[in-house]
Structure 1
Amino acid sequence: MAMYVFKDSARKVKLLAKDAFKEDKGVRFYCPNPTCDAHMHICSRSGSSTFYFSAQIKGHGHIENCPHYASNNFDPIKYNETEFDFNKALLALTEKSKPQTKKLDPGEHEQGPVVPKPPRTIRQIYDMCIAYDCTDTYNGIVIGTMLLYDGSAYMYSNADDVIGWRVIEAKRDKPNFYDSVKKEIYLVAPIGRQKYKFLLRFDDEAQYKAMQKEIYANKDNKIIVAGEWNFSEKQNKLSTTVLSKKQTKIIK
């Protein structure tokens, strides 16, 4: 699903879901991905006035690997936007998971309505960003300042603009994307322009090996990484330390 589409095939006239009307439900719109010819239409949840866009007509769906395909399961109704704090969310991803404690009475459950939580996992945050236009906002934060990808690349005129807490959509650097002696992995982003080089450092060797093997097994897939990035002029790379598996995800 997507929270925005284009009214024309040239992708010049944008329509945000929040500005859509019920009267437009029969109108065909265009997928934000310029290489995808999916027929997008306005949809809404039963009993909800919140709209989103989806390609549901047989034979006119998304192309393979389109970021706006159904695999993007972001549903704004299921998340608490007002509680979302981007920096805190990414900081939490760097913390190692705590062991879960068993309840004394696992058969008993608390009663009451389920309160939606803000996006927390790196996939939830990524899907949220991709669902919206990079110039739109989520709880007052501009989408493009949270995620560096092809759509928001123009917002980053130099490496200094990437410094800080950020999610990047990247691919492995070629020809060599790792250094086992230094426990480092090398990526490039945004994927289309490959403007910046990134370096992932690992303190834990087992974690490094697991990530290196995962990337090697998915050489052509996207890699998303959440971290606090710093720029090293000596290495001409933006770097972060991966402290938890929660910081990275392969997008297949």
Structure 2
Amino acid sequence: MFYKLGGKDMAKYAYRDKDRKDIIYSDEAIEVDRNTAFFCPDHKCNAKLYICAVDGSKSAYFRATKPNFKHIKNCLFGNSSTEFDSNNYDESQFVYEDAINNLLCNTKPSSQKRIPSAHGTGEPGAHPPRTLRQIYSLCKSLSVRDTYAGKEIGSMILDDRSKYRYPKGCFGNRIIEATVDGRLYNDEKKEVYLVSPINSKKYTFILSFSDEDNYKKIRSEIYNNRDKIIVIAGKWESSGEYNKFTSKVYGTKQVAIIK
């Protein structure tokens, strides 16, 4: 299943109101009453979040500290997948298209490396976000209407928060937050099938492979984690069928499993 919920949840933003209209960021909330309750960014989650400070730091974050108002099962804001410490990265050097293109480079599978989970954001350092899990955590840590290095978060990722931006589908370099629904793969075509966004399952995404080893490795990893959230970086285009999009997958750099 997923990482244990209610543990290391550190949201960088929350909402003042139940309708999620009035957003508040953790760095704005440092001076508020510590007993003020805010609402989880996930509209389906009834967790009440409270402002907390990192020990020995001025950094702040929201956390579900009350046992009666914890995150619901599978809420991404209840585990470490949304953690992104902007102090560890150089925003000025981040170019989204270049970052995704680097993930799409041909890579041969290694028997010693597994598909990375979206736990943490990798090694610290003054460099821009590079790996899929770093970019994904960046996208989840902010509102889809926020920007990073001048690019709106909602234009980087397709998930349930940003689906309003994709009324006709998903094209070009995008990260998708997906799940398994129905048939998972076709060995003859070397294809893996996922759906996104997770709640509406509006679109089907076809992962297309030319390399047999990469196909088998990634197919097996997704199959073994088919109850989890799958994150894919791809260059998406129409498959020729309604609401179905396809991208080539060259290696494990394009795939992350949310545990």
Q: TM-score range with shorter-chain normalisation?
A: 0.7 to 0.9
Counterpart check, 1:27 vs 2:36: yes
Is the contact made by 1:170 and 1:222 (CA closer than 8 Å) also made in structure 2? yes
The one-letter code matched in structure 1 to 2:180 is: R
Is the contact made by 2:184 and 2:223 (CA closer than 8 Å) also made in structure 1? no
Q: What is the SS of the residue equivalent to 2:76? A: coil
Counterpart pick for 2:178 among 166, 170, 173: 170
The one-letter code matched in structure 1 to 2:161 is: G
For 1:19 and 1:44, how far apart are their aligned partners in 2? 12
Counterpart check, 1:183 vs 2:190: yes
Is the contact made by 2:107 and 2:250 (CA closer than 8 Å) also made in structure 1? no
For 2:186 and 2:42, how far apart are their aligned partners in 1? 35
Normalised to the residue count of structure 2, the TM-score between the two structures is: 0.81
Q: What RMSD over aligned residues (CA atoms) do the two structures have, in Å?
A: 2.3
Counterpart pick for 1:158 among 157, 168, 181: 168
Counterpart pick for 1:220 among 227, 238, 244: 227
Counterpart pick for 1:12 among 21, 35, 50: 21
Q: Render the CA deviation track for 1:114-135: whole Å, top value 9, x for unaligned.
A: 8422221111111111111111
The one-letter code matched in structure 1 to 2:209 is: F
Counterpart pick for 1:74 among 84, 88, 110: 84
Normalised to the residue count of structure 1, the TM-score between the two structures is: 0.83
The one-letter code matched in structure 2 to 1:185 is: V
For 1:219 and 1:23, how far apart are their aligned partners in 2? 41
Tell me which of the two structures has the higher relative contact order, counting C-alpha pairs closer than 8 angstroms and 6 or more residues apart. Answer: 2
Q: What is the SS of the residue equivalent to 1:151? A: coil
Report percent identity of matched pairs. Answer: 41
Contiguous gaps of at least 5 residues in structure 2: 1-9, 109-123
Is the contact made by 1:42 and 1:53 (CA closer than 8 Å) also made in structure 2? yes
| C-alpha deviation, 1:77, in angstroms | 2.1
User: Which residue of structure 2 aligns with residue 2 of structure 1?
Assistant: 11
For 1:165 and 1:79, how far apart are their aligned partners in 2? 21
Is the contact made by 1:135 and 1:144 (CA closer than 8 Å) also made in structure 2? yes
Is the contact made by 1:198 and 1:239 (CA closer than 8 Å) also made in structure 2? yes
| C-alpha deviation, 1:34, in angstroms | 2.6
User: Which residue of structure 2 aligns with residue 198 of structure 1?
Assistant: 205
Sort the Cα spacing of 1:148 and 1:183 in 2 relative to 1 into closer, same or farther, 3 A: same
Query: How many residue pairs are counted as aligned between the two chains?
Result: 234
For 2:166 and 2:28, how far apart are their aligned partners in 1? 28
Sort the Cα spacing of 1:200 and 1:31 in 2 relative to 1 into closer, same or farther, 3 A: same
Counterpart pick for 1:137 among 144, 147, 165: 147
Q: Render the CA deviation track for 1:167-207: whole Å, top value 9, x for unaligned.
A: 00111241x22110110111111111111111111111111
User: Which residue of structure 2 aligns with residue 109 of structure 1?
Assistant: none
| C-alpha deviation, 1:83, in angstroms | 1.7
Is the contact made by 2:107 and 2:252 (CA closer than 8 Å) also made in structure 1? no
Sort the Cα spacing of 1:57 and 1:76 in 2 relative to 1 into closer, same or farther, 3 A: farther
Contiguous gaps of at least 5 residues in structure 1: 99-113
Sort the Cα spacing of 1:187 and 1:202 in 2 relative to 1 into closer, same or farther, 3 A: same
Sort the Cα spacing of 1:83 and 1:44 in 2 relative to 1 into closer, same or farther, 3 A: farther
Is the contact made by 2:88 and 2:125 (CA closer than 8 Å) also made in structure 1? no
For 2:242 and 2:69, how far apart are their aligned partners in 1? 46
For 1:208 and 1:239, how far apart are their aligned partners in 2? 15
The one-letter code matched in structure 1 to 2:198 is: I
